[in-house]
Structure 1
Amino acid sequence: MNLKERLQTHLSQIARERDPYMATAGHFFVQEYIRQQLAQWGSVEIHTFLVGRKTCQNLILNLPSQAEGKKTDLSPILIGAHYDAVPGTPGADDNATGVAVLLELSRKFAAAPARYPLRLVAFDMEEYGLLGSAAYAANLRQQQQPLRLMMSLEMLGYRDATPGSQSYPPPLERFYPNQGDFIALIGNLRTVRDLISISRSIRKVGIASQWLPVPNRGLIVTQTRRSDHAPFWDAGYPAIMVTDTAFLRNPHYHKPSDAIATLDLDFLTGVCEGLEAGIRRL
């Protein structure tokens, strides 16, 4: 199977009702699917956290760097994607696409390691207020674990080249294109060099890419905080969200119509290839 077919296979397994409260069977199925996929490349660590009385799980795979065995102390790059979805939607773009790319990046970097160790994390409970990533970021902060970079994969598969298809929180519309045919990279100020470098790698594979550095933990334009990178910004880590801009472009956001048929799989495949190249260049 080529990359596009593998991404499509992941999407067909993950895009289903999987709200942690209202669709527990689907949620458990997807959790198990991710665990089995990651387990091909190493032992999957489970980070549990409580929400009320409910035990929730982040699934983690650590992959070694190229230099494993030599004495190097490189901080890991953490790549995360949330696997829960809001009630009443199959959540194909939000966020089966992010998880599918996470799984393919695990395959690629297991076969040929990056310069940095990688930590791939499937977060739970994002839709309930970034609870999985907040619990995990707090845990890392408490253990004083440094990160080279945190990257949140948040909706990667919707493209619309029609003029006027892309909206923005003001005043960003003055600086960015009005058609939704690019992948966006949004990072805190510490990530500017990474934003430029990864954006360049994505463009090299033929996918349009725009980048936006935000000051002050994104509090000025709160729409920039709506994913699992935000708790890492708050904890002082360099972090980036990779996104098709969600509700600013995709009319199916949080609706029953967020189905695989609405996605652009060539776009998703290009984003995955560009991210792999970009991570290898860091």
Structure 2
Amino acid sequence: MNLKERLQAYLSEIARERDPYMATAGHFFVQEYIRQQFSQWGSVEIHTFDVGGKICQNLILNLPPAATKQQRNLPPILIAAHYDGVPGTVAADDNATGVAVLLELASKFAAEPVKYPLRLVAFDMEEYGLLGSAEYAALLRQQQQPLRLMLSLEMLGYQDSNPGSQSYPPPLERFYPNTGDFIALIGNLRTIPDLISMSRNIRQAGIGSQWLPVPNRGLIVPQTRLSDHAPFWDADYPAVMVTDTAFMRNPHYHKPSDTIASLDLDFLTSVFTGLEIAIRRL
């Protein structure tokens, strides 16, 4: 299978109703699928947390860095995607696309490690207020675990090259293109050098990439906080959301029409390729 076919194969397993309360069977299926995929590359750590008596799970795979004698004890890069969905949709873009890319990155980086150790995390309960990532960011902060960078993969597969297809919180529309055919990188101020280099490297895969640095944990533009990077901003980690901008572009957001058929798999494949290049060069 080529890369696009592999991403499509992941999507066909993940894109199903998987709200943790209303679609428990689908939610459990996807949880087990991620665990089984991760377990090909190492032992899967499970971070459990409690939400009103419901036990929830973040799934974690640690990959060692490339073996070089000089680089000892580098802080890990954490790459994450949430696997829960909202009720009434198979949630293909939100966020089967992020999980598909996470699983393929695991396979690629297990085979050919990068300079930094990698920690790949599938977060639960994002749709209920970023609960899985908030619990995990708090745990890392408590352990005084440094991170080189946290990347949140949040909706990566929808593009629309028609003029006017992209909207923004004001006044950003003055500075960014009005066609929804790029991938966006949104980071806190300390990630600016990474935003610049990652955007440049993603463009090498033949797609547009725009970047936005936000001060003050994103509080002045609340739309920049709507994914699992936000608790890491709050815990003072360098963190970036990688996104197709969700409802500012995708009309199927949180609707039954968010299906694999609504995605652009060529765009998703280019996003993956660009991200792999960008992460290797961090």
Q: Which residue number corresponds to residue 118 of structure 2?
A: 118
TM-superposed CA distance for 1:177, in Å, is 0.3
Q: Deviations over 1:105-126 (max 9, x none)?
A: 0000000001000000000000
Q: Which residue number corresponds to residue 102 of structure 2?
A: 102
- Matched residue of 1:241: which SS? strand
TM-superposed CA distance for 1:70, in Å, is 6.1
CA RMSD of aligned residues (A): 0.8
- Matched residue of 1:211: which SS? strand
- Matched residue of 2:28: which SS? helix
> What is the aligned-residue identity percentage?
82
- State the distance in 1 between where 2:68 and 2:127 align: 36
- State the distance in 1 between where 2:141 and 2:209 align: 31
- State the distance in 2 between where 1:115 and 1:256 align: 41
- State the distance in 1 between where 2:255 and 2:248 align: 14
- State the distance in 1 between where 2:164 and 2:71 align: 52
- Matched residue of 1:40: which SS? coil
Q: Which residue number corresponds to residue 161 of structure 1?
A: 161
Correspondence list, 1:41-60, <5 A? 41-60=41-60
TM-score by length of 2: 0.99
TM-superposed CA distance for 1:73, in Å, is 1.2
TM-score by length of 1: 0.99
- State the distance in 2 between where 1:238 and 1:71 align: 21
Q: Which residue number corresponds to residue 220 of structure 2?
A: 220
Q: Which residue number corresponds to residue 270 of structure 2?
A: 270
Q: Which residue number corresponds to residue 281 of structure 1?
A: 281
Q: Which residue number corresponds to residue 246 of structure 2?
A: 246
Q: Which residue number corresponds to residue 7 of structure 2?
A: 7
Between stretches 65-74 and 215-224, larger displacement belongs to 65-74
- Matched residue of 1:126: which SS? coil
Q: Which residue number corresponds to residue 210 of structure 1?
A: 210
- State the distance in 2 between where 1:255 and 1:71 align: 46
TM-superposed CA distance for 1:69, in Å, is 6.9
Q: Which residue number corresponds to residue 188 of structure 1?
A: 188
- Matched residue of 1:144: which SS? coil
Say whether residues 1:130 and 2:144 are aligned partners: no
Q: Which residue number corresponds to residue 24 of structure 2?
A: 24
- State the distance in 1 between where 2:68 and 2:78 align: 17
- Matched residue of 1:60: which SS? strand
TM-superposed CA distance for 1:67, in Å, is 3.0
- Matched residue of 2:164: which SS? coil
Q: Deviations over 1:53-93 (max 9, x none)?
A: 00000000000001367660100000000000000010000
Q: Which amino acid aligns with 2:200?
A: R
Say whether residues 1:257 and 2:257 are aligned partners: yes
TM-superposed CA distance for 1:246, in Å, is 0.1
- State the distance in 2 between where 1:111 and 1:224 align: 33
Q: Which amino acid aligns with 2:134?
A: A
Correspondence list, 1:58-77, <5 A? 58-67=58-67, 72-77=72-77
Q: Which amino acid aligns with 2:180?
A: G
- State the distance in 1 between where 2:176 and 2:120 align: 31
Note closer, same or farther for the CA distance 1:221–1:45 as it changes in structure 2 (3 Å cut): same
- State the distance in 1 between where 2:108 and 2:273 align: 10
- State the distance in 1 between where 2:204 and 2:71 align: 33
Say whether residues 1:79 and 2:63 are aligned partners: no
- State the distance in 2 between where 1:88 and 1:271 align: 27
Note closer, same or farther for the CA distance 1:17–1:69 as it changes in structure 2 (3 Å cut): farther
Q: Which amino acid aligns with 1:60?
A: I
Which ranges of structure 2 fall in alignment gaps of 5 or more residues?
Answer: none
Note closer, same or farther for the CA distance 1:216–1:259 as it changes in structure 2 (3 Å cut): same
Q: Deviations over 1:115-148 (max 9, x none)?
A: 0000000000000000000000000000000000
- State the distance in 2 between where 1:215 and 1:146 align: 21
Q: Which amino acid aligns with 1:273?
A: T
Q: How many residues align?
A: 282
- State the distance in 2 between where 1:79 and 1:197 align: 17
